[in-house]
Structure 1
Protein backbone atom coordinates (compact mmCIF):
# COMPACT_ATOMS: atom_id res chain seq x y z
CA UNK A 1 0.00 0.00 0.00
CA UNK A 2 2.79 2.44 0.86
CA UNK A 3 4.48 1.68 -2.45
CA UNK A 4 1.23 2.42 -4.31
CA UNK A 5 0.84 5.73 -2.47
CA UNK A 6 4.43 6.60 -3.31
CA UNK A 7 3.80 5.92 -7.04
CA UNK A 8 0.59 7.98 -6.90
CA UNK A 9 2.39 10.89 -5.21
CA UNK A 10 5.29 10.72 -7.65
CA UNK A 11 2.95 10.69 -10.66
CA UNK A 12 0.92 13.59 -9.26
CA UNK A 13 3.99 15.71 -8.54
CA UNK A 14 5.55 14.90 -11.91
CA UNK A 15 2.44 15.60 -14.00
CA UNK A 16 0.96 18.62 -12.25
CA UNK A 17 3.61 21.20 -13.27
CA UNK A 18 3.75 19.84 -16.82
CA UNK A 19 -0.01 19.90 -17.30
CA UNK A 20 -0.31 23.22 -15.41
CA UNK A 21 -4.10 23.29 -14.79
CA UNK A 22 -3.93 26.87 -13.47
CA UNK A 23 -2.31 28.10 -16.66
CA UNK A 24 -4.95 26.28 -18.69
CA UNK A 25 -7.66 28.53 -17.21
CA UNK A 26 -6.33 31.62 -19.02
CA UNK A 27 -6.19 29.79 -22.35
CA UNK A 28 -9.66 28.33 -21.81
CA UNK A 29 -11.07 31.73 -20.89
CA UNK A 30 -9.82 33.35 -24.08
CA UNK A 31 -11.15 30.51 -26.23
CA UNK A 32 -14.60 30.52 -24.58
CA UNK A 33 -15.20 34.25 -24.30
CA UNK A 34 -18.21 34.08 -26.67
CA UNK A 35 -19.81 30.96 -25.19
CA UNK A 36 -22.82 30.80 -22.91
CA UNK A 37 -22.51 29.50 -19.35
CA UNK A 38 -24.05 26.19 -20.38
CA UNK A 39 -21.64 25.79 -23.29
CA UNK A 40 -18.71 26.77 -21.07
CA UNK A 41 -19.59 24.10 -18.49
CA UNK A 42 -19.96 21.54 -21.27
CA UNK A 43 -16.58 22.41 -22.76
CA UNK A 44 -14.94 22.28 -19.31
CA UNK A 45 -16.41 18.84 -18.67
CA UNK A 46 -15.39 17.44 -22.04
CA UNK A 47 -11.91 18.95 -21.79
CA UNK A 48 -11.28 17.13 -18.52
CA UNK A 49 -12.71 13.88 -19.94
CA UNK A 50 -10.48 14.11 -23.00
CA UNK A 51 -7.42 14.86 -20.86
CA UNK A 52 -8.09 11.78 -18.76
CA UNK A 53 -8.79 9.59 -21.81
CA UNK A 54 -5.61 10.68 -23.61
CA UNK A 55 -3.28 10.26 -20.64
CA UNK A 56 -4.94 7.03 -19.51
CA UNK A 57 -4.57 5.57 -22.99
CA UNK A 58 -0.88 6.40 -23.10
CA UNK A 59 -0.40 5.13 -19.55
CA UNK A 60 -1.80 1.75 -20.51
CA UNK A 61 -0.84 1.48 -24.18
CA UNK A 62 1.75 4.20 -24.70
CA UNK A 63 4.72 2.09 -25.72
CA UNK A 64 2.50 -0.20 -27.81
CA UNK A 65 0.95 2.77 -29.67
CA UNK A 66 4.34 4.26 -30.47
CA UNK A 67 5.68 0.90 -31.65
CA UNK A 68 2.57 0.11 -33.71
CA UNK A 69 2.77 3.35 -35.67
CA UNK A 70 6.58 3.42 -35.51
CA UNK A 71 6.52 6.83 -33.87
CA UNK A 72 9.16 8.47 -31.74
CA UNK A 73 8.52 11.04 -29.01
CA UNK A 74 10.30 13.78 -31.03
CA UNK A 75 7.67 13.33 -33.77
CA UNK A 76 4.88 13.85 -31.20
CA UNK A 77 6.70 16.90 -29.83
CA UNK A 78 7.15 18.47 -33.27
CA UNK A 79 3.57 17.78 -34.40
CA UNK A 80 2.15 18.91 -31.07
CA UNK A 81 4.29 22.02 -31.14
CA UNK A 82 2.98 22.89 -34.59
CA UNK A 83 -0.65 22.58 -33.42
CA UNK A 84 0.06 24.68 -30.32
CA UNK A 85 1.88 27.34 -32.37
CA UNK A 86 -0.99 27.48 -34.86
CA UNK A 87 -3.53 27.96 -32.05
CA UNK A 88 -1.38 30.68 -30.51
CA UNK A 89 -0.97 32.49 -33.83
CA UNK A 90 -4.74 32.49 -34.40
CA UNK A 91 -5.21 34.06 -30.95
CA UNK A 92 -2.44 36.60 -31.52
CA UNK A 93 -3.58 37.60 -35.02
CA UNK A 94 -7.32 36.83 -35.16
CA UNK A 95 -8.97 36.82 -38.57
CA UNK A 96 -12.21 38.59 -39.32
CA UNK A 97 -15.07 36.12 -39.72
CA UNK A 98 -17.99 38.54 -39.79
CA UNK A 99 -18.83 37.64 -43.35
CA UNK A 100 -18.86 33.91 -42.78
CA UNK A 101 -22.05 32.61 -41.13
CA UNK A 102 -20.34 29.30 -40.34
CA UNK A 103 -17.36 30.89 -38.65
CA UNK A 104 -18.95 30.94 -35.20
CA UNK A 105 -20.62 27.56 -35.32
CA UNK A 106 -17.60 25.54 -34.30
CA UNK A 107 -17.32 26.19 -30.58
CA UNK A 108 -15.88 22.79 -29.71
CA UNK A 109 -12.43 23.53 -28.34
CA UNK A 110 -12.45 20.74 -25.74
CA UNK A 111 -10.41 18.16 -27.63
CA UNK A 112 -8.24 20.50 -29.64
CA UNK A 113 -6.58 22.75 -28.80
CA UNK A 114 -7.43 22.48 -25.06
CA UNK A 115 -7.03 18.78 -24.19
CA UNK A 116 -4.57 18.07 -26.98
CA UNK A 117 -2.03 19.57 -27.12
CA UNK A 118 -2.35 22.47 -24.62
CA UNK A 119 -3.02 20.35 -21.50
CA UNK A 120 -2.32 16.69 -22.32
CA UNK A 121 0.50 17.66 -24.66
CA UNK A 122 3.73 15.97 -25.70
CA UNK A 123 5.34 16.64 -22.33
CA UNK A 124 2.52 15.04 -20.34
CA UNK A 125 2.26 12.13 -22.78
CA UNK A 126 5.99 11.52 -22.58
CA UNK A 127 5.84 11.66 -18.78
CA UNK A 128 3.07 9.05 -18.45
CA UNK A 129 4.85 6.79 -20.93
CA UNK A 130 8.02 7.10 -18.86
CA UNK A 131 6.16 6.43 -15.61
CA UNK A 132 4.38 3.40 -17.04
CA UNK A 133 7.67 2.03 -18.35
CA UNK A 134 9.18 2.41 -14.89
CA UNK A 135 6.21 1.08 -12.90
CA UNK A 136 4.92 -2.01 -14.68
CA UNK A 137 2.89 -3.74 -11.94
CA UNK A 138 -0.94 -3.49 -12.32
CA UNK A 139 -1.34 -1.78 -8.94
CA UNK A 140 1.37 0.73 -9.84
CA UNK A 141 -0.29 1.48 -13.17
CA UNK A 142 -3.57 1.93 -11.29
CA UNK A 143 -1.87 4.44 -8.98
CA UNK A 144 -0.73 6.43 -12.03
CA UNK A 145 -4.25 6.34 -13.47
CA UNK A 146 -5.69 7.61 -10.18
CA UNK A 147 -3.22 10.51 -10.25
CA UNK A 148 -4.33 11.31 -13.82
CA UNK A 149 -7.97 11.16 -12.67
CA UNK A 150 -7.33 13.55 -9.78
CA UNK A 151 -5.64 16.04 -12.08
CA UNK A 152 -8.50 15.77 -14.58
CA UNK A 153 -11.04 16.55 -11.84
CA UNK A 154 -8.97 19.55 -10.74
CA UNK A 155 -8.89 20.76 -14.35
CA UNK A 156 -12.67 20.51 -14.68
CA UNK A 157 -13.22 22.39 -11.41
CA UNK A 158 -10.79 25.18 -12.33
CA UNK A 159 -12.13 25.61 -15.86
CA UNK A 160 -15.71 25.61 -14.70
CA UNK A 161 -15.50 27.88 -11.66
CA UNK A 162 -12.59 30.23 -12.36
CA UNK A 163 -13.14 30.96 -16.05
CA UNK A 164 -16.18 33.21 -15.36
CA UNK A 165 -13.96 35.32 -13.09
CA UNK A 166 -11.55 35.87 -15.98
CA UNK A 167 -14.48 36.75 -18.26
CA UNK A 168 -15.37 39.60 -15.89
CA UNK A 169 -12.38 41.48 -17.29
CA UNK A 170 -14.74 42.60 -20.06
CA UNK A 171 -14.27 42.66 -23.86
CA UNK A 172 -11.17 44.85 -23.80
CA UNK A 173 -9.59 42.84 -21.00
CA UNK A 174 -10.36 39.54 -22.75
CA UNK A 175 -8.94 40.91 -26.01
CA UNK A 176 -5.72 41.94 -24.27
CA UNK A 177 -5.50 38.62 -22.45
CA UNK A 178 -6.14 36.79 -25.73
CA UNK A 179 -3.22 38.57 -27.39
CA UNK A 180 -0.91 37.89 -24.45
CA UNK A 181 -1.90 34.23 -24.16
CA UNK A 182 -1.68 33.85 -27.93
CA UNK A 183 1.92 35.03 -27.87
CA UNK A 184 2.79 32.78 -24.92
CA UNK A 185 1.10 29.76 -26.54
CA UNK A 186 2.91 30.50 -29.81
CA UNK A 187 6.22 30.52 -27.92
CA UNK A 188 5.31 27.24 -26.18
CA UNK A 189 4.60 25.67 -29.57
CA UNK A 190 7.89 26.85 -31.02
CA UNK A 191 9.72 25.59 -27.92
CA UNK A 192 8.09 22.16 -28.30
CA UNK A 193 9.16 21.98 -31.94
CA UNK A 194 12.72 23.07 -31.10
CA UNK A 195 12.91 20.47 -28.31
CA UNK A 196 11.60 17.78 -30.65
CA UNK A 197 14.09 18.67 -33.38
CA UNK A 198 16.95 18.79 -30.86
CA UNK A 199 16.01 15.40 -29.42
CA UNK A 200 15.79 13.96 -32.93
CA UNK A 201 19.16 15.42 -33.88
CA UNK A 202 20.81 13.96 -30.77
CA UNK A 203 19.31 10.57 -31.55
CA UNK A 204 20.72 10.68 -35.07
Structure 2
Protein backbone atom coordinates (compact mmCIF):
# COMPACT_ATOMS: atom_id res chain seq x y z
CA UNK A 1 0.00 0.00 0.00
CA UNK A 2 1.34 3.48 -0.88
CA UNK A 3 0.57 4.94 2.56
CA UNK A 4 2.40 2.18 4.43
CA UNK A 5 5.41 2.31 2.09
CA UNK A 6 5.54 6.11 2.36
CA UNK A 7 5.32 5.92 6.16
CA UNK A 8 8.15 3.40 6.36
CA UNK A 9 10.36 5.35 3.96
CA UNK A 10 9.82 8.65 5.76
CA UNK A 11 10.46 7.01 9.14
CA UNK A 12 13.75 5.53 7.92
CA UNK A 13 14.68 8.89 6.38
CA UNK A 14 13.76 11.12 9.32
CA UNK A 15 15.06 8.96 12.17
CA UNK A 16 18.80 9.01 11.31
CA UNK A 17 18.61 12.63 10.17
CA UNK A 18 17.13 13.81 13.46
CA UNK A 19 19.41 11.56 15.51
CA UNK A 20 22.40 13.04 13.70
CA UNK A 21 21.51 16.68 14.31
CA UNK A 22 20.21 16.26 17.89
CA UNK A 23 22.70 13.59 19.04
CA UNK A 24 20.95 12.61 22.31
CA UNK A 25 24.00 10.74 23.62
CA UNK A 26 26.35 13.67 23.09
CA UNK A 27 23.78 16.04 24.58
CA UNK A 28 23.47 13.78 27.62
CA UNK A 29 27.16 14.31 28.39
CA UNK A 30 26.66 18.09 28.58
CA UNK A 31 23.32 17.71 30.37
CA UNK A 32 25.04 15.68 33.09
CA UNK A 33 27.59 18.44 33.61
CA UNK A 34 25.04 21.28 33.59
CA UNK A 35 22.68 19.58 36.05
CA UNK A 36 25.42 18.21 38.30
CA UNK A 37 24.06 19.98 41.40
CA UNK A 38 20.58 18.54 40.91
CA UNK A 39 19.36 15.34 42.53
CA UNK A 40 18.70 12.29 40.38
CA UNK A 41 14.94 12.75 40.76
CA UNK A 42 15.17 16.36 39.56
CA UNK A 43 17.27 15.37 36.55
CA UNK A 44 14.71 12.72 35.62
CA UNK A 45 11.93 15.30 35.89
CA UNK A 46 13.93 17.74 33.75
CA UNK A 47 14.58 15.02 31.15
CA UNK A 48 10.86 14.20 30.99
CA UNK A 49 9.90 17.83 30.40
CA UNK A 50 12.66 18.38 27.84
CA UNK A 51 11.45 15.31 25.93
CA UNK A 52 7.89 16.69 25.83
CA UNK A 53 8.99 20.19 24.81
CA UNK A 54 11.37 18.83 22.16
CA UNK A 55 8.58 16.72 20.67
CA UNK A 56 6.32 19.79 20.53
CA UNK A 57 8.96 21.94 18.79
CA UNK A 58 9.72 19.25 16.21
CA UNK A 59 6.08 18.40 15.49
CA UNK A 60 5.15 22.05 14.93
CA UNK A 61 8.11 22.39 12.55
CA UNK A 62 7.14 19.19 10.72
CA UNK A 63 3.43 19.89 10.28
CA UNK A 64 3.45 23.66 9.83
CA UNK A 65 6.94 24.74 8.78
CA UNK A 66 6.75 23.82 5.09
CA UNK A 67 3.13 25.03 4.89
CA UNK A 68 4.07 28.46 6.20
CA UNK A 69 6.90 28.76 3.68
CA UNK A 70 4.55 27.72 0.86
CA UNK A 71 2.14 30.42 2.04
CA UNK A 72 4.82 32.97 1.22
CA UNK A 73 5.06 31.70 -2.36
CA UNK A 74 8.06 29.41 -1.98
CA UNK A 75 7.66 26.40 -4.29
CA UNK A 76 8.14 22.85 -3.06
CA UNK A 77 11.08 22.34 -5.44
CA UNK A 78 12.83 25.49 -4.15
CA UNK A 79 12.15 24.39 -0.60
CA UNK A 80 13.67 20.99 -1.29
CA UNK A 81 16.80 22.44 -2.92
CA UNK A 82 17.36 25.06 -0.20
CA UNK A 83 16.47 22.65 2.59
CA UNK A 84 18.74 19.94 1.25
CA UNK A 85 21.63 22.40 0.99
CA UNK A 86 21.02 23.54 4.58
CA UNK A 87 20.98 19.94 5.81
CA UNK A 88 24.15 19.14 3.86
CA UNK A 89 25.87 22.27 5.22
CA UNK A 90 24.90 21.33 8.77
CA UNK A 91 26.22 17.81 8.24
CA UNK A 92 29.49 19.07 6.75
CA UNK A 93 29.99 21.36 9.74
CA UNK A 94 29.43 18.41 12.07
CA UNK A 95 31.95 16.34 10.12
CA UNK A 96 34.60 19.03 9.74
CA UNK A 97 34.51 20.79 13.10
CA UNK A 98 32.46 18.80 15.64
CA UNK A 99 34.30 20.59 18.44
CA UNK A 100 32.71 23.88 17.33
CA UNK A 101 29.21 22.45 17.70
CA UNK A 102 30.06 20.95 21.08
CA UNK A 103 31.38 24.33 22.24
CA UNK A 104 28.20 26.06 21.06
CA UNK A 105 26.01 23.52 22.83
CA UNK A 106 28.08 23.91 25.98
CA UNK A 107 27.66 27.68 25.77
CA UNK A 108 23.89 27.31 25.35
CA UNK A 109 23.75 25.00 28.33
CA UNK A 110 25.98 27.27 30.42
CA UNK A 111 23.19 29.82 30.61
CA UNK A 112 20.99 27.07 32.05
CA UNK A 113 23.61 26.40 34.70
CA UNK A 114 23.71 30.07 35.63
CA UNK A 115 19.92 30.30 35.74
CA UNK A 116 19.82 27.07 37.72
CA UNK A 117 21.75 28.76 40.51
CA UNK A 118 19.40 31.73 40.44
CA UNK A 119 16.02 29.96 40.48
CA UNK A 120 16.84 27.23 42.96
CA UNK A 121 15.39 23.75 43.01
CA UNK A 122 11.64 24.43 43.09
CA UNK A 123 9.45 22.96 40.32
CA UNK A 124 8.89 26.39 38.81
CA UNK A 125 12.64 26.73 38.35
CA UNK A 126 12.73 23.36 36.62
CA UNK A 127 10.01 24.49 34.21
CA UNK A 128 11.92 27.68 33.48
CA UNK A 129 15.18 26.05 32.43
CA UNK A 130 13.58 22.93 30.88
CA UNK A 131 12.23 24.86 27.89
CA UNK A 132 14.84 27.60 27.62
CA UNK A 133 17.66 26.96 27.15
CA UNK A 134 17.72 23.16 27.66
CA UNK A 135 15.11 22.44 24.96
CA UNK A 136 15.53 25.50 22.79
CA UNK A 137 18.25 26.05 21.63
CA UNK A 138 20.31 23.34 23.40
CA UNK A 139 18.39 20.23 22.28
CA UNK A 140 16.25 21.41 19.34
CA UNK A 141 17.85 24.55 17.97
CA UNK A 142 17.67 26.27 14.57
CA UNK A 143 19.63 23.44 12.95
CA UNK A 144 17.08 20.86 14.05
CA UNK A 145 14.17 23.00 12.90
CA UNK A 146 15.74 23.57 9.47
CA UNK A 147 16.40 19.83 9.06
CA UNK A 148 12.78 19.00 9.90
CA UNK A 149 11.43 21.60 7.47
CA UNK A 150 13.73 20.22 4.77
CA UNK A 151 12.45 16.71 5.46
CA UNK A 152 8.87 17.95 5.31
CA UNK A 153 9.63 19.46 1.90
CA UNK A 154 10.34 15.98 0.52
CA UNK A 155 6.79 14.81 1.25
CA UNK A 156 4.59 13.57 -1.62
CA UNK A 157 2.28 16.13 -3.20
CA UNK A 158 -1.06 14.71 -2.03
CA UNK A 159 -3.08 11.59 -1.34
CA UNK A 160 -2.52 8.65 0.97
CA UNK A 161 1.24 8.72 0.37
CA UNK A 162 1.45 12.22 1.82
CA UNK A 163 -0.39 11.25 5.01
CA UNK A 164 1.74 8.14 5.25
CA UNK A 165 4.86 10.30 4.97
CA UNK A 166 3.69 12.62 7.76
CA UNK A 167 2.78 9.64 9.93
CA UNK A 168 6.21 8.04 9.50
CA UNK A 169 8.02 11.34 10.16
CA UNK A 170 5.85 11.96 13.22
CA UNK A 171 6.75 8.54 14.61
CA UNK A 172 10.44 9.31 14.02
CA UNK A 173 10.06 12.60 15.92
CA UNK A 174 8.41 10.81 18.85
CA UNK A 175 11.17 8.16 18.89
CA UNK A 176 13.86 10.85 18.96
CA UNK A 177 12.04 12.78 21.71
CA UNK A 178 11.80 9.55 23.73
CA UNK A 179 15.51 8.87 23.17
CA UNK A 180 16.33 12.39 24.41
CA UNK A 181 14.28 11.79 27.54
CA UNK A 182 15.90 8.40 28.19
CA UNK A 183 19.45 9.60 27.45
CA UNK A 184 19.14 12.71 29.62
CA UNK A 185 17.49 10.81 32.48
CA UNK A 186 20.34 8.26 32.31
CA UNK A 187 23.03 10.89 31.77
CA UNK A 188 25.26 9.59 34.58
CA UNK A 189 25.33 6.09 33.11
CA UNK A 190 25.86 7.48 29.59
CA UNK A 191 28.92 9.40 30.81
CA UNK A 192 30.39 6.28 32.41
CA UNK A 193 29.74 3.85 29.57
CA UNK A 194 30.28 5.95 26.44
CA UNK A 195 32.55 8.84 27.26
CA UNK A 196 33.29 11.88 25.12
CA UNK A 197 35.56 10.09 22.61
CA UNK A 198 33.04 7.40 21.65
CA UNK A 199 30.21 9.92 21.55
CA UNK A 200 32.24 12.01 19.09
CA UNK A 201 32.86 8.97 16.83
CA UNK A 202 29.15 8.15 16.87
CA UNK A 203 28.37 11.79 16.06
CA UNK A 204 30.66 11.78 13.03
CA UNK A 205 29.19 8.58 11.63
CA UNK A 206 25.67 9.95 11.95
CA UNK A 207 26.81 13.29 10.46
CA UNK A 208 27.99 11.51 7.31
CA UNK A 209 24.60 9.85 7.01
CA UNK A 210 22.98 13.27 7.43
CA UNK A 211 25.17 14.61 4.60
CA UNK A 212 23.89 11.85 2.30
CA UNK A 213 20.29 12.65 3.25
CA UNK A 214 20.79 16.36 2.54
CA UNK A 215 22.31 15.56 -0.84
CA UNK A 216 19.37 13.30 -1.72
CA UNK A 217 16.82 15.99 -0.79
CA UNK A 218 18.67 18.52 -2.97
CA UNK A 219 18.79 16.11 -5.92
CA UNK A 220 15.04 15.52 -5.58
CA UNK A 221 14.44 19.27 -5.77
CA UNK A 222 16.72 19.67 -8.79
CA UNK A 223 14.91 16.79 -10.49
CA UNK A 224 11.56 18.49 -9.81
CA UNK A 225 12.84 21.61 -11.61
CA UNK A 226 14.50 19.88 -14.56
CA UNK A 227 11.90 17.24 -15.43
CA UNK A 228 9.24 19.67 -16.74
CA UNK A 229 11.90 21.59 -18.69
CA UNK A 230 13.31 18.44 -20.29
CA UNK A 231 9.82 17.14 -21.07
CA UNK A 232 8.86 20.44 -22.74
CA UNK A 233 12.08 20.43 -24.73
CA UNK A 234 11.46 16.91 -25.97
CA UNK A 235 8.09 17.80 -27.48
Q: Please report the TM-score for the alignment, with normalisation by the length of structure 1.
A: 0.62
**2:19/2:176 contact within 8 Å kept:** yes
Question: Are 2:28 and 1:3 aligned?
Answer: no
Q: Which has the larger radius of gyration?
A: 2
**Superposition RMSD on alpha carbons, in Å?**
3.5
Unaligned segments of structure 1, at least 5 residues: 78-83, 169-176, 178-204
> How much does 1:65 deviate?
4.7
Change (3 A) 1:2 1:139: closer
Q: Please report the TM-score for the alignment, with normalisation by the length of structure 2.
A: 0.55
- Match in the other structure for 2:130: 110
Q: Give the whole-Å Cα distance in 2 for the aligned partners of 1:7 and 1:104.
A: 42
Change (3 A) 1:12 1:102: closer
1:11-160 maps to which residues of 2 (within 5 A)?
11-65=14-68, 85=104, 88=107, 91=110, 102-105=118-121, 106-107=125-126, 108-136=128-156, 137-160=162-185
- Match in the other structure for 1:165: 189
Greater than 6 Å deviation, 4+ residue runs: none
> How much does 1:91 deviate?
3.3
**2:183/2:190 contact within 8 Å kept:** no
**1:12/1:151 contact within 8 Å kept:** yes
Aligned residues: 154
Q: Give the whole-Å Cα distance in 2 for the aligned partners of 1:67 and 1:131.
A: 14
Q: Give the whole-Å Cα distance in 2 for the aligned partners of 1:17 and 1:6.
A: 17
